[in-house]
Structure 1
Amino acid sequence: MNLLNVIPALPVRDIARAAEFYRDRLGFAVGHMDEGFGIVSRDGVVIHLWAAGDESWRHRPRTPASSPVVTGAETFLAGTASCRIEVIEVDDLYAEMKGAGVLYAADTVIEATPWGTREFPVLDLERNLLTFYERSSG
């Protein structure tokens, strides 16, 4: 037995809008899309998008023992996930993402980390965090 791969699954409120954003702004291809699930990929990296569109939590009675999470697809979960994506030529990808206007903040730069990477963060349409990183040489 071997573990082979890990695929991040990010919660989004609208699969179609999210897939369009990943395609048009982040350069991913849309491999599958239906009402509840989407698959996007770029250069062999795959991300799953799952629908967090349940609004019923807004109308449930609030009691001390109740939990807001019942279905696991509540809309407030959208934008709460993150993933890290290893890349080659992080400077080129940074320039592309800066041009697309998807950096975490306008003043986001590539940062060197104590754990030996150069990286920068991007936010998707829902504000899920994607950190692109390259291992530092040396």
Structure 2
Amino acid sequence: MKMIEAIPALPVKEMERSLLFYKDTLGFSILHVGDEFVVLGLDEVQVHLWLADDENWRKEEHWNPVVTGAESFIAGTSGCRIGMEGVDAMYERLGPKDIIHPNAPIEDKPWGTREFSVLDPDRNLITFFEWKR
């Protein structure tokens, strides 16, 4: 047995807003668009976005709501790490866009990476990293 791929699937509240962020701000290409699921790609990396916009959990009459798994509060609770080459160049490109996480500027980490993080519009954390050799 051998695992060969992992693709992050991030919950978002507003698909169009998130799709534009990943496309226009981060530079991903759109590979598939559905009503509740989007596939984006950049080089060898894919990111999947899924719609988490169920607001029924907020309604008082739903004191014991049916859990759908797409409740809106899930959006912004996820993150992913994207390995790459040229992390410093990516940092320089994204820095002026004011999306760098305030607690995650580019730096060398004790576990052997150089990395930084950004927040998407729902506050999912995306960390870009490069292995130090």
Same fold by TM-score greater than 0.5:
yes
One-letter amino acid of the counterpart of residue 81, structure 2: R
TM-score of the superposed pair, with normalisation by structure 2? 0.91
Aligned residues: 133
CA contact 1:19–1:33 (8 Å) conserved in 2: no
Alpha-carbon distance change, 62 to 132 in structure 1, aligned in 2, over 3 angstroms: same
Identity %: 46
Name the structure 1 match of 2:80.
83
Match of 1:117 in 2: 113
CA distance in 2: counterparts of 1:104 and 1:97, whole angstroms: 11
**Whole-angstrom distance in 1 between the partners of 2:118 and 2:3:** 28
- What residue identity is the alignment partner of 2:93? E
**Conserved? CA contact 2:13–2:53, under 8 Å:** yes
In structure 1, how many angstroms separate the alpha carbons of the residues matched to 2:60 and 2:51?
20
In the TM superposition, 1:1-138 aligns within 5 A as 1-61=1-61, 66=64, 70-105=67-102, 108-137=104-133
State the shift of 1:62 in Å.
Answer: 6.7
Query: 1:16: Cα distance to partner?
Result: 1.7
Structure 1 runs of 4+ with >4 Å offset: 60-63
Q: Aligned-pair RMSD on alpha carbons?
A: 1.8
The CA distance in 1 between the partners of 2:58 and 2:80, in whole Å, is 28
